[in-house]
Amino acid sequence: MNSMKTSLKIFAGDLKNSFTDLLPIIVVVALFQGAVIRSMPDNLFSIVAGLTIVAVGLALFIRGLELGIFPIGEGLAVDFARKGSVFWLLLFAFTVGFATTVAEPALIAISQKAASISNGLIDAFWLRMTVAFSVGFAILLGVLRILLGHPVAYYIIGGYILVVLITFFAPKEIIGLAYDSGGVTTSTVTVPLVAALGIGLASSIKGRNPVIDGFGLIAFASLTPMIFVQVYGIIVYAMGESSSLPILAQAVIETEKAAQHFQWQDIFWDLIATVKDVLPILAVIFFFQYVIIKKPVAHLHRILIGIAMVIVGLYAFIVGLEMGLFPIGETIAFDLTAMKNNLLIYLFAFLIGFSTTMAEPSLLAIAIKAEEISAGSIKQTRLRAVVAMGVAVGIALGAYRIVVGDPIHYYIIAGYLLVIAFTYFAPDYIIPIAYDSGGVTTSTVTVPLVAALGLGLAENIEGRNPLIDGFGLIAFASLFPMLTVMGYGIYAEYYRKQTLSQEEEA
C-alpha cells in the first residue's frame, strides 16, 4: 500500500512537471491565435483535451524510462564490459542503431516524401536502408571510441569537415534532405537507450569518465546520415536525370496537412505504430541479453512495467499532439504566411522552436541523465533552456533563409565552422553533451511542426521550390543547440574562474 502511495506521489510530481513543460507551447499558441491572428480556433475543446493527454503521456514516458529503459541499457553495457567481447558489443551497437532506425516513423515519412517529390529518382526503400546503415555504423563507431578512449571532438569535427566537403559535390536537390535526415534518425525511445549504453559503458571501463566519454553516441547518429545520404544522392543523380517537381511537392504537403487533422479511428493505428516502433528495440535487447550474454534480466517484472509505461506514454503523447498541437500549429503557420509579415514569421519560428524543445521527451531524458551523472553540477532545467534557445535561434534563422532564398549550405558550413571554434574553447565536460543536444532536439514534438513550417513557407513564397528550399529547418534545429550549450559551458567556466580568483583575493 505504501509503495502504491509513493508511486502515485512520484507520478503526480511528473504530471505537474509535464504541464509546466507544456506551458510555453500553450502561451505561444494562445498569443499568436488571440493577439496576432485574432480569431478563436474552431476545435478549442479538442486542443485542450489533446494537450492534457500530451501531459499525461509525457509523465508516463519519463517514469517508464526510469523504471525500464535506463536500467536495461546500462545493465547491458556493464554485462558486455564484463564479458570482454568487443565483437559482440560492436555487433550489438550496430544492430541497435540499424533496427531502431529502419522502424522509425519519421524516417519512413521523409523517405516516401522524398521519393514522391523526386518522381521516384530517390527510392524510398534504399534511402531508408542508407540512413539505417549509417546510424548502425555511427553507434558502432561511437562505442569503439569509448573503448579506445579517444576525445569525441576529433571524430565529430572530422565528420563535419567531411559533410561540408561532400556538399560541394552533392546535387542541390539532396542537400536539404541529407541535412534533415540526421535529425529524424534519433527517435524518442532510441535516444534514452543509446545514452544509457554509452554512459553504462564509460562507467564500467577503468579510466573513462561517464560525463566526458559516456555522451556523444547520439551526435554520431545525427552526423553520419548527412554523409551517407549525400553520397547516395551523388550516385542516384549521376545515374538518373535530375528532376524537381513542385507540383508533386504540393500534393505531398496537402497529404501531410490532411494527415495532421485528428481522426478518432486513428487511435488504434497510432497504438500499433508505437508498438511497432518499440518492438525492434526490444527484440535486439532480449536477443543479446538471453542468447549472447546468457543472463536473465535483473528485476524483469519492473523492467517490463517500465517498457509498457514508455509505450503507453509515447502513444498518449502522439495522440494528444494530433488532437491538439499539429492542427493549430499548421493553421497558424499558414495564416502568418498569408499575412505577408516576415517579422511575425521569424517570431513565430523562434517561439515555437523554444516552446516545443522544452517539451521534447528525448531532450528531457538526456538532461535528467546529465544532471544525475554530473552529481547536479549540470542542472537539467538550465540545460534544456539553453538547448531550447539554440533551437529557437536556429529555426528563426532557417525561416529567414527560406524567405530570402539563400542556399542552405552557406549557413550550415558557417555553423559548423563556429562549432569547431567553440569546441576549442569549451570545457571538456560540456562538449559531448553539446554534440548530443543537437540530435535530441529533433524528435517527436519538434520534427512534424518544423517540417510543416519549412514546407509551408517554401510553398507559399513565390520563387521557392519545396524540394530545394522546404527541407533544412531540422538541420538548423540540430546545429544551433551545439553552439548555445558550448557557449553556456564557456561562460560557466569563466564565471567559476572569476569567482575563485575573487575568493583568493579576499
| Predicted pLDDT at 326 | 64
> What is the per-residue DSSP string for 277-324?
HHHHHHHHHHHIIIIIS--PPTTHHHHHHHHHHHHHHHHHHHHHIIII
* Cα 32 to Cα 46: distance, rounded to the nearest angstrom: 18
Angle between helices 431-440 and 361-373 (to 10 degrees): 160
Predicted local distance difference test score (pLDDT) of residue 19:
78
Q: What was the pLDDT predicted at 245?
A: 37
The pLDDT value given to residue 214: 85
Long-range contacts, 417-421 (Cβ 8 Å, 24+):
418/483, 419/157, 419/160, 419/479, 419/482, 419/483, 419/486, 420/157, 420/160
Quote the pLDDT of residue 250. 39
Q: How far is CA 344 from the centre of its chain?
A: 26
Q: What is the pLDDT along the chain (506 residues), one digit of tens a residue?
A: 566 677 777 878 778 877 777 777 778 877 887 778 777 766 677 778 888 888 888 888 878 878 887 788 888 888 887 777 788 889 988 998 888 787 666 677 677 767 776 777 888 889 889 999 999 999 999 999 998 888 888 898 899 889 888 988 888 778 877 877 777 676 666 777 888 888 888 888 888 888 788 888 888 888 899 899 999 999 988 876 544 433 333 333 443 444 445 555 666 776 777 777 778 878 888 888 888 888 888 788 888 888 888 888 878 877 787 776 666 666 776 777 777 788 888 998 898 889 888 878 778 888 888 888 877 778 888 999 999 999 999 999 988 988 888 887 788 888 888 998 999 899 888 888 898 888 777 666 666 667 767 777 777 777 776 666 767 787 888 889 999 999 998 988 888 888 888 877 76
Q: Residue 145 contacts by C-beta under 8 Å, 6 or more apart in sequence?
A: 152, 155, 216
The three-state secondary structure class of 123 is coil
| pLDDT score of 105 | 63
Q: Nearest Cα to 278, choosing from 65, 506, 8?
A: 65
Residue 42 backbone dihedrals phi, psi, to 5 degrees = -65, -35
Query: pTM for this structure?
Result: 0.76
| Whole-number Å distance between alpha carbons of 217 and 142 | 5
Phi/psi of residue 120, nearest 5 degrees: 85, 0
> 152 vs 47, 204, 434, CA distance in Å?
43, 18, 11
Supply the Cα-derived Rg of the chain in whole angstroms: 22
CA pair distance 482, 437, nearest whole angstrom: 6
Count, in order, helices (H) and strands (E) of the chain. 22, 0
**Domain coordinates in residue numbering, the chain:** 2-500
Residue 45 burial (CB < 10 Å; 0-12/13-18/19+)?
exposed
